[in-house]
A and B are shown apart, each in its own frame.
Chain A
Amino acid sequence: MNIVGRRNWYFLLSLAIILPGMISMAFFGFRLGIDFAGGDQYNLAFTRPVQASAVQKEMDTFNVEAIVQQAGSNGVLVTTKPLSSVQETTIRADLTKTFPVDPSKSSYAQVGPTIAKELVVGAGGLIAIASILIVMYLSFRFNYKFAVCAVLALLHDVFVLTGIYSILGKVFNLPLGEINTLFVTAVLTVIGFSVHDTIVIFDRIRENLRQASRLTFEQNVNLSIIQSLARSLNTSMTVVFVLVALFLISPQNIKGFTLALLIGIVSGTYSSIFNASPLLVVWRRLDPR
């Protein structure tokens, strides 16, 4: 199996997934959850089916820029601009009176604009700081080329994930594609997994390079990938199994989270096998020192 030899195809596949995502991000941005956009959100569960349009009609009477979406057969998601305490109480009382709301299964969240802003800046900053520190550690353990390639693979996964979510949320307008704090957690989880996965293969390359052999650098990298393939796939498959199960049985409010983890883990496995190590080879060719 020659993975490194076909690297351009693999890079192309990555681009084919990342580019539409990037375009969507650039033109449409994200469907922001209220933790980032600020506002109020009711996740209402009903004791019997209720049409989202009926709830929308009711909400329109309050004039609070409400958007109502169906969430499962017995639930709706109501998002509004930031409400005052009085408005909140009035609307809640009205909804409870008009519709068969089950409060014990419902949730409500309100986020002020200051906090929302802090979270967005914070999340981006965290990913940046973590990446820089990982580059430093890997430069120390391997060398800077390995470090940079590992972080490129990491960024690949971040872009795949954010790109797909931009498309899901904005192009398809699905509540699933909403960007919220849980999504940030998912991105961070994926970063951890991606680097972990990449390092295992890099470790193999490091070990094989130390042993005197007649293999070229390219052959060496390919051999290392093949040698760690069983482990990479085994580990990822177990995680993917768990996540698919989790996704299928997730309640509406965390389906987006489990889906993000699922996409990220698959992307993380792909990028460590097909991107990170082949990138090392590309770099070595450009700069053979």
Chain B
Amino acid sequence: MRVDRRLLGLIAVIAVIAIFIDGFAYVYRLATSQPLTGPIRGVPTLSIPFLGFSQQIYVHKGLDLQGGTHLELQITQVRSGTTIQTARDIAVAIIERRVNSSGYAESVVRPEGSDRIIVELPGVNLEQAKQILGKTSYLTIWKWEPGTPDAATLALLNPTDAQKYAGYKPVPTGIDGSMITNASRSTDPNTNLPDVTISFDNTGSNLFCNFTRDRVTHPQGDPQNKLAIFIDKDLVEDANVISEICGGSAIITGGFTAASAQALAIQLSSGALPGTISIASATEVGATLGASTVKLSLLAGAFGLAIVILFMLLYYRLPGVVASVALILYAAIALAIFKLFGVTLTLAGLAGFILSIGMAVDANVLIFERVKEELRAGRTLGAAMEAGVHRAWPAIRDSNISTLITCFVLYFFGAPLIKGFAITLAIGVAVSMFSAVVTTQQFLQIVAGLRPARRLAFYGVRAPKAA
């Protein structure tokens, strides 16, 4: 195979793109005097909509590398009438809103499986995380009708509150916290006591309007004239309805202090979680610990690369130089892909990447060993290189495909941590195949075409005794 100008062009284009991606974010950060790590301020995300792709270009580090809290939340006791998936999605949206309003950059809230939610909060400890996630408050509005409460109602509400009026039972009105668009602390103009003003969305507003219109028809003092607001299990408001309320807002009074009114307003405005949410697992990593792990990994990576390059130069001489250049290009391309697709690098991910470097080196070693053999057999340089690549290919192909199969299984069936490992390894292996078979091979052909490079000593091979 001769030097192929089109392939060389392709390598050049990919190299330029990789260097652009690796470098451009840093240039931008420097130009706008931003720190060199973490998310970038003021850069529009690069998005390719038809690939469902939208990313900022920088290395996304997992919590084990940057410190923070990782929580896996489990939803149980979903309110009747909601499927667990719907409940999960509502909860994700609500938690996302709470997290974002707390202003934590680069936090992640995503569904996991059918009933779990993963929350990742960089730079936050567990106590702070619990505060951000907040208490779950579920507001429901009930009316009183003649009868006695059944077991289901007693399980849902505090029994003492549910049996407040003998001969009456609480009946749901269908109005709940999910219909609240806003809640804020306010002050009663008559008593000067703190209270909470809530605003309803259209559905809630209509329901509330009809409900109050119906309640007004009952005389004052009759429980059927009352409006009962329960928060979680407890009755917090049991007020007389004096007139119909159709403006889309209502006021909860009920012996609040300024602080408790504020707390309730926050709980209500951040939405009602559609079920009970408990922490299934939590991990907290100190910031310095994460940073030292990164430092260590970089050190190991640099050390590893240095050993590999040194070894290749000493053992394979001139092809070693070629392989080293190809290897550095390989690392740049793999890193650019991580950045481009927002792959989150974790400790396991780094392990996958380091393993893929090993495999990239291995592909080169396989080719060079073959080239040496061909040279010893007395072939010309060009022919030996061509045959070397050709004969090493089945081994490179089969071993890398087996690795890709493993990655595939891990990615689709593995736990999140294992997924991170699979994706970096798969990207690494795919790029390493390109690196070994296209880049190294083309470079070798160029070298073979140079007259001064034709001495066999450059390849660590003695001239054959008799050709």
Q: Using a CB–CB distance below 8 Å, which chain A residues touch chain B? A: 35, 45, 85, 88-89, 92, 102-112, 114-115, 118-119, 122, 125-126, 129-130, 133-134, 137-138, 141, 181-182, 184-186, 188-189, 191-193, 195-197, 199-200, 202-204, 206-207, 227-228, 230-231, 234-235, 237-239, 241-242, 245-246, 249-251, 253-254, 257, 261
Contact = CB atoms under 8 A, between A and B. Distances in A.
Given A203-B399, A207-B391, 5 more contacts: A107-B284, A111-B281, A112-B74, A188-B421, A196-B402
Contacts of B292: 105, 251
Contact of B399 (A129, A195, A207): A195
B286 A129 contact: no
Nearest to B295: A249
Contacts of A251: 289, 292-293, 296
A114 B67 CA distance: 25
Given A185-B418, A192-B403, A251-B289, A108 B126 contact: yes
B413 to A, nearest CB: 6
B409 A238 contact: no
Contacts of A85: 130, 279
Given A106-B286, A186-B351, A235-B365, A115 B402 contact: no
A254 B293 contact: yes
18 contacts: A35-B281, A45-B289, A103-B286, A107-B286, A107-B289, A108-B282, A108-B283, A108-B284, A126-B409, A126-B418, A137-B402, A185-B348, A188-B421, A192-B402, A196-B403, A242-B300, A245-B303, A254-B347
B248 interface: no
Contacts of B300: 242, 245-246, 249
A234 B351 contact: no
Interface stretch (B41-49, B239-247, B266-274, B355-363): B355-363
B399 A137 contact: no
B114 interface: no
A169 B359 CA distance: 31
A123 to B, nearest CB: 8
Interface stretch (B162-170, B175-183, B223-231, B307-315): B307-315
Contacts of B40: none
Determine the main DSSP class of A at the interface with B. Answer: helix
Contacts of B293: 251, 254
B15 interface: no
Given A104-B288, A203-B395, A182 B347 contact: yes
Contacts of B388: none
B417 interface: yes
Interface string B302-330: 01100110010001000000000000000
Nearest to B280: A112
A88 B284 CA distance: 13
Contacts of A189: 351-352, 355, 421, 425
Contacts of A238: 304, 307-308, 311, 358, 361
B405 A130 contact: yes
Nearest to A251: B292
Contacts of B285: 107
A256 B421 CA distance: 17
Contacts, number: 192
Interface residues of B, number: 65
Nearest to A204: B395
Contacts of A246: 296, 300
B289 A200 contact: no
B365 A104 contact: no
Interface string B384-408: 0000000100110011111101111
Given A108-B283, A188-B410, A231 B366 contact: yes
Contact of A141 (B74, B398, B400, B413): B398
A251 B288 CA distance: 12
B283 to A, nearest CB: 4
Nearest to A228: B369
Contacts of B401: 137
Contacts of B289: 45, 104-107, 251, 253
B415 interface: yes
B409 A200 contact: no
B330 to A, nearest CB: 15
B150 interface: no
Q: Which 4 pairs of residues, A with B, have the shortest CB-CB distance? A: A242-B304, A203-B395, A104-B288, A108-B284
B30 interface: no
B3 interface: no
B418 A110 contact: no
Counting chain A CB atoms within 10 Å of each CB, the highest count among B281, B347, B355 belongs to: B281
A104 B286 contact: yes
B416 to A, nearest CB: 9
A203 B403 CA distance: 16
Nearest to B72: A115
Contacts of A234: 311, 315, 365
B405 A110 contact: no
